[in-house]
Amino acid sequence: MTGPIARSSPPLRRELGLVEVTLSGVGIILGAGIYVLIGEGARLSGNALWAAFVISAAIAFFTCMSYAELSSMFPKAGAEYDYVGSAFSQRLAFVIGLLVFLSGILAATTVALGFAGYVSALMALPVQVSALGILLILTVVLLYGVKETARVAVVATLIEVSGLVLIIALGIPHLGDVNYLEMPLGFSGLLAASALIFFAYQGFESMVKFSEEARNPEKTVPRALILALTISTAIYILVALSAVSLIGWQDLGASDAPFSEIVGNALGPDAAILISGIALFATGNTVLLSLYASTRILYGMAGSPSMPGAVALVLPGRRTPWVAILVTTALAVVFIFSGDIAFVANVTNFTLYVSFIAINATVIVLRFRSPGLKRPFRIPFSPGGVPLIPVAGLVMSVFLLSRQDLPVLLLGAALALVCIGLSFVRIPGDPGNGNKNEG
């Protein structure tokens, strides 16, 4: 097959409702970011930390709305691959899809090593052993079924949110104790904190991978995207206000484990173990949902002539894409033992910004090229037919990409070139290409 993507009705089970998709989205957005970024954000923005979260949320909102419109138009597991392919060439769609696939693997690997760090502190296990263990356990969950995966994600989300609720509860009696507009580095420091904290919002884009396993995905996924981002933003702002109220931005910015310090000061040193335990669920949940996102976009890319059709095979009973899951896990394991974690973390950011640029551009192009296409969710504010929100998302994504260090840009560009090279490869005589099969 060398033409557009061809798919019959998907064999994946549609078992997820608005609650499951929304809570899974909240879980991957909150994830591990808030547990490690809040201290550095406070050092840059001072007591105005809450404002940095507001600015970052606004930036994320622009691209989130583009994902909402596209997910309502093309409710496919291939997500970015399907979206970009509908507006541009199939080659560009393959490149973007492959970058998104790799970003999920890289994010899962990085956070798995973070999970292993917490385990090692509690149990003195080697980091790579713990990281490999969590990857294998979560692979079994993914193979078992999407409903079970969602249940694990929902439970982990509730646990990780409980840690943030604890911080909020401890801070409520102290609200008003500090000047929340105090910015030691001025407005430039606030903007720097916003750019950093934006990473805490990444993950909403993974929610669209639930499209082929959600009930009524044209409505469920866009609603879940907006709800998850709104809920996460509200939690972030309350946590930021509580944290600076409890120990001040100076101590918050100087701490390597700010939440442990906050809870330890309020409830005693033994309470730090509680936060460490919650952090295990936060990091584990991020690993699970990052792996899930990568497996689904790989499954969705089986229609590409450059992708072996075998990645579309699903288990007959469980209805899970077992080949895509095993390939994703295998690559994650390779990165765990590569030891080059700086590369893993940096290139993840690059791939996300590139994909955000492509997604916002896709919405703009389709508005002009295919205005008659059905859009169950339509982004408002389009004077003269120009969708202003995707335009803002495009501009902000380019800005964030330009703020990356030169080594990051060079490494990311090298990976992009590899993906472009792979897009010219053709899989000859692959009967599975372009179809979803059981096996």
**Number of other residues whose CB lies within 10 A of the CB of residue 82:** 27
pLDDT at site 11 = 56
Which CATH number does the domain housing residue 317 bear? 1.20.1740.10
Domain with 265, as residue range(s), is 18-423
Q: Please check whether residue 313 is in contact with residue 438, taking contact to mean a CB–CB distance below 8 angstroms.
A: yes
In a domain, 115, yes or no: yes
In a domain, 436, yes or no: no
In a domain, 431, yes or no: no
Say yes or no to pLDDT of 1 above 50: no
Phi, psi of 427 (to 5 degrees): -90, 105
Separation between Cα atoms, residue 220 and residue 408, nearest integer Å: 36
Sequence-ordered alpha helix ranges (H) in 124-216:
127-144, 146-171, 186-197
In a domain, 429, yes or no: no
Tokens 């497996």, located at residue: 295
> What is the number of structural domains in the chain?
1
In a domain, 435, yes or no: no
Separation between Cα atoms, residue 359 and residue 364, nearest integer Å: 9
Query: Quick one: which of 215, 208, 359 has its CA closest to 292?
Result: 208
In a domain, 379, yes or no: yes
In a domain, 403, yes or no: yes
pLDDT tens by residue, 384-411 = 889 999 999 999 989 888 877 788 788 8
pLDDT tens by residue, 317-352 = 888 899 999 999 999 998 887 655 555 655 677 888
pLDDT tens by residue, 139-164 = 999 999 888 888 888 898 889 889 89
In a domain, 439, yes or no: no
Say yes or no to pLDDT of 207 above 60: yes
**Number of other residues whose CB lies within 10 A of the CB of residue 11:** 18
Buried b (16+ CB within 10 A) or exposed e, 395-406: ebbeebbeebee
pLDDT at site 376 = 93
pLDDT tens by residue, 95-152 = 999 998 988 888 888 888 878 877 876 787 888 899 999 999 999 999 998 888 888 8
